[in-house]
Structure 1
Amino acid sequence: MKAILNKLYNHERLSKSEAKQILKDIAAEKYNDAHLASFMTVFMMRPITADELAGFRDALMELAIKIDLSDYNTIDIVGTGGDGKDTFNISTLTSFIVAGTGQKVAKHGNYSVSSQSGSSDMLESFGYNFTNDETILREHLEKANICFLHAPKFHPAMKAVSSTRKALALKTFFNMLGPLVNPSSPKNHMLGTFNLEVARLYNYILQEEDINYGIIHAIDGYDEISLTSGFKFFTKNGEQIINPEDLGQKRIQQSEIFGGNSVADAAKIFKSILEGNGTEAQNNVVLTNAAFALTIVNEAKPFETAFNEAKDSLFGLKAKQILEKLVNI
């Protein structure tokens, strides 16, 4: 690792094959915590290259415990995290709303690193038991339209750096990798990024693949559609800037989507919204995200149609029933 760090400190870049091998060595726990922290810090001080990100991704996917959910045409709805905005769990709530419309969701997630509550924190607080058993995950999809893939159960490299990431409590390149390494390789992806350059890197990597995807970067730095500003939206057909007003929505304030100061606070907000008692701002944010997810799966579906399907899922309490089914299977 010393030679690798010296190379990086000299402003050199890693090739795709070098990046892949280093991550495989990290997974094999060949480096100590100080080396890991130093290595991760490099990519907080300069942009990661497409080759580096692709190499890290290839290593994680090669080492992953893979599962085959291809029978279900699933979508993953996931953000990088690390935007420092401390919102409630928008992508996780969106996933349950989408599942409530009948669309199968294979949600990939993890514990929070830089905010109060990640998707894994939230599901664990509701009593969900993480598993990497394909038979059980298929049963979840069959009965609840959603399964949850807790990253450390599938990615030994992520597990190997979990304590270092938690100690740093900052966004690292692992935040960038998470949305790209769903071990079930779904054919539909809705990805959010805190950084425009990362959004472009995702687009560069994903446009070579035979999948449907939409990449979201809010102009004011959120890794999801926040309705606090416009957002960049990348698909295989190009990119555009979309403003809340273009969708018939009002702009909202950051304080209106605050997620609280603890997992307990976040869980209270989560349940309130699922029970149909969210504020107008909270509801519109998750419904807008859910509608975009549905249009990624079926690009012929108008936004308005998708939004109404999402409303029926949320206010008809279908999303709430999905959560109850999932934790009780």
Structure 2
Amino acid sequence: MKPYLEKISSKVDLTYEEAADAMQLIMSGESTAAQFGSFVTGLRMKGETVDEIAGMASVMRKMALSVNYDNDLLDTCGTGGDGLGTFNISTAAAFVSAGIGIKIAKHGNRAMSSHTGSADVLESLGININLTPDQVSECIKISNFGFMFAQGFHPAMKHAGPPRREIGIRTVFNILGPLTNPAGAQKQLIGVSDPKVGNIIAQSLKRLGSEAALIVHGNDGLDEITLSDFSQIWILKNGEISCEKFYPESLGVNIQSLSKLQVNNSEESAQMIESVLDGIQGPSRDIVLLNSAAAIFISGHSDNFQDAFDKAKHSIDSGLAIKTLNLVREYSQKLND
């Protein structure tokens, strides 16, 4: 690891192969906690490159437990680290998308630097998050939604988990999580808290062979499509990457403050998700609809955002979204028996 630390500390980029080798050392436990901390902090200070991210992601993918599911899969997730304390918007959007028949393979973890991670809020919703690969596959088949708890599907990450929690800031691992879906989801909606990371993630996914991805960043710093401002979006489709601005008003949604979307813990986040899926009106519904529209669009189930937005509204208003949540809750708990 020392040669790589020397390069990074000198602001020299690693090659794809060097980054992959460094990741192998981390995941095999051959690097110390101090070396790990220096490595990820140094990368952040230098700025992570496409080669570094793709090289590290390739090793994580190889060492992960895999979910075999022969169908189109979509993941909705974010890098976290925006510090805005909102409820788990991409998790809510996953249920809305699943409600209209999109197969969701959601990959997530507990909170590292926020109030609530996707694993935390799903537990608070009464969902069993500790499923085996076969059980996740079965859950997707039954309900259109399956959750892969990162800690369970990346056992080699046990060496990185404790020092990562101690560091407590955004690192390359916030970026790697969305790139290492154990079910190999080829379509993704990814939120980023740092706009400099958006294009890098799009380029990394292109190098890793992703079919389609929509990367989003709110101009207010939110790692979702936001309500309070425009959002920057990067679209990866057919091997090409485009970048544009998205305005809530384009779908008839008024600009609103994020204050009513903030929560203190996973229980509050779960309550907000259920209220949205139950059809309660308000800013929480609006932001879920915007992000669900993005997910539905990039999944290929709609050709444009307006049609995707209408389908998201139908998923909630018809009761399909809350039905999906209840089915996932019931079926995942049965797997405990």
Provide the TM-score with structure 1 as the length reference: 0.93
* Deviates most, 243-252 or 206-215: 206-215
1:221: which partner in 2?
A: 221
1:89 partner amino acid: N
1:257 equivalent among 255, 261, 271: 261
Residues 136-215 of structure 1 mapped to structure 2, 5 A cutoff: 136-208=135-207, 209=209, 211-215=211-215
1:281 equivalent among 272, 280, 283: 283
1:175 partner amino acid: N
CA contact (8 A) 2:191 2:224 kept: yes
Give how far 1:132 is off: 5.2
1:15: which partner in 2?
A: 15
Matched, 1:294 2:296: yes
CA contact (8 A) 2:198 2:216 kept: yes
Residues 111-126 of structure 1 mapped to structure 2, 5 A cutoff: 111-126=110-125
Give how far 1:239 is off: 1.6
Residues 56-95 of structure 1 mapped to structure 2, 5 A cutoff: 56-69=56-69, 71-95=70-94
1:248 partner amino acid: G
1:106: which partner in 2?
A: 105
Stretches of 4+ aligned residues off by more than 6 angstroms? none
2:252: which partner in 1?
A: 248
CA contact (8 A) 1:109 1:118 kept: yes
2:243 partner amino acid: E
* Deviates most, 312-321 or 143-152: 312-321
Give how far 1:272 is off: 2.2
CA contact (8 A) 2:4 2:18 kept: no
Gaps of 5+ in 1: none
How many corresponding residue pairs? 326
1:317 partner amino acid: G
Q: Tell me how far apart the structure 1 counterparts of residues 60 and 101 of structure 2 sit (CA, whole Å).
A: 30
2:268 partner amino acid: D
* Deviates most, 235-244 or 88-97: 235-244
SS in 2 for 1:52: helix
Deviations 1:62-81 (A, max 9, x none): 11112222x22111111111
Structure 1 residues 159 and 319: alpha-carbon distance in aligned structure 2, compared to 1, 3 A threshold: farther
Provide the TM-score with structure 2 as the length reference: 0.91
CA contact (8 A) 1:24 1:157 kept: no
Give the superposed CA RMSD.
1.7
Structure 1 residues 11 and 304: alpha-carbon distance in aligned structure 2, compared to 1, 3 A threshold: closer
Gaps of 5+ in 2: 332-337
1:268 partner amino acid: Q
CA contact (8 A) 2:115 2:265 kept: yes
Q: Tell me how far apart the structure 2 counterparts of residues 210 and 170 of structure 1 sit (CA, whole Å).
A: 27
Q: Tell me how far apart the structure 1 counterparts of residues 269 and 233 of structure 2 sit (CA, whole Å).
A: 27
SS in 1 for 2:216: strand
Deviations 1:152-211 (A, max 9, x none): 212234332111122222111100111111011112111111122211112212334250
* Deviates most, 143-152 or 303-312: 303-312
